Amino acid sequence: MQKIVGKFSVKYVQIVDEKGNVDKKLEPKLSPQQLRDLYKWMVLERTFDNTALSLQREGRIGTYAQSLGEEAVHVGATFATRDSDWIFTDYREHASYLMRGVPVNNLLMHWGGSEDGMALPEKSNIMPVCIPVGTQTLHGVGAALAMKIKNQKTATLTFVGDASTSTGDFNEGLNFAGAFVTPSVIVIRNNHWAISVPRTCHDATWGGCQTRAETLAQKAIGYGFEGIQVDGNDVLAVYTVVKQAMDRARDGKGPTLIECITYRLGPHTTADDPTRYQDPKILKAWLEKEPLKRFQSYLKKKKLWDEKYEAAVQAECKRIVDQGVAEAEKHKPKPTDMFDYVYKSLTPNLKEQRDEWQS
């Protein structure tokens, strides 16, 4: 005897297409101010990104991970949260920090080589940069479990990259989320690359790629909940799908996995040279689909964008970032801080080493 015991499908959502045309049925009801806010946050992230890249090239900060081209994922998803929800990132989500009230100064202190940058403001409700990719999935799910135990009407939003879906912790996190029906939303920023290893397999009999899975969203199905694929360069689609998932999570309906299809238009970090492994034609095609230009055409059709507005937004973002640069460059970390925050109080060993450093 044999029979089919499971059949699954994965939904794909796009609201604004590459030419700025909108699917009216799916279009979210956002005010003109909210639409302009979405745009401004994306411009701010790009301004920050360009500035940070220049600072790195001039040796004024350390290795830096660009967000170029992935702004719609960070901004759309973060915009869909409430301030009382918690956000867990890896290291590319600069906009999420800015949107949670973390000053530019803090981000630049961090990338400039000081722990002080991740001494995040009270109530920003976002965890510090998490470099071991995938590990933060468990923190987001554990925090959501705590919210559920405490009967809070809050949820967690966790960002991971496409390569994180290969890690054990990502899969353990999804399994815990499914088993405990946690109020957690996990967003995969599928930018097609893990440094030089492509997301997709191009050889029918060998690896050299991240995974042979048809979509990354479908991984949720293995853990008993829904995975949705979204056009990750469409900020309205990201916002809408994440918003629905966050609302569901807060209502006790459990987790959602959301795969946002975008493209890494820059290198992995400033230490990487993508010309060694990336076809420039593919990059060029994705440049055409980049999120800011697309949202501009949408806003223009709504009469919410013109050259004058653009100049004003650019000037405001530049002012915010320049001010952050000036502050960050004045910062000098205190050497004894490296001893003082390992434990709540100094252990005898650390006291001895701290005294020795000072003498």
CB of 158 to other proteins, least distance (A): 10
User: Least distance in Å: CB of 335 to other proteins?
Assistant: 13
**Nearer to other proteins by C-beta: 283 or 338?**
338
298 is catalytic: no
What token pair was written down for 87? Answer: 């956000």
Dist. CA 4–CA 203, nearest whole Å? 29
2: which residues sit within 8 A by CB, 6+ positions away? Answer: none
Q: Kindly tell me which residue out of 68, 87, 147, 220 binds other proteins, with binding defined by CB under 8 A.
A: 147
* Chain position carrying tokens 């500035």: 51
**Looking at beta carbons only, is 171 or 244 nearer to other proteins?**
171
**Which region holds residue 151: left if phi is over 0, alpha if psi is between -120 and 50, else beta?**
left
Q: Is residue 169 close enough to count as binding other proteins by CB under 8 A?
A: yes
Tell me which stretch binds other proteins (CB under 8 A): 6-14, 41-49, 121-129, 234-242.
121-129
- The 101-120 site mask, x for binding other proteins (CB under 8 A), equals --------------xx-xxx
Positive/negative CA dihedral, 12, 15, 20, 21: positive
Q: Is residue 83 at the binding interface for other proteins, with CB under 8 A as the rule?
A: no
In whole angstroms, how close is the CB of 350 to other proteins at the nearest point? Answer: 8
**Encoded tokens for 208:** 């050299």
Query: Which residue of the set 46, 74, 264, 294 is catalytic?
Result: 264
SS3 state at 117: helix
**DSSP letters of 331-348?**
----TTHHHHTSSSS--H
* For other proteins, the closer CB: 93 or 169: 169
Radius of gyration of the chain (CA): 21
250 has catalytic annotation: no
Interface with other proteins (CB under 8 A), residue total 42
- Catalytic residue check, 264: yes
Q: Does 315 bind other proteins (CB under 8 A)?
A: no
Q: Smaller CB distance to other proteins: residue 250 or 264?
A: 250
CB of 137 to other proteins, least distance (A): 8
Whether residue 78 contacts residue 87, with contact meaning beta carbons closer than 8 Å, is answered with: yes
Instruction: Give the end-to-end CA distance of the chain in Å, rounded to a whole number.
Output: 80
Residues catalogued as catalytic: 264, 268, 277
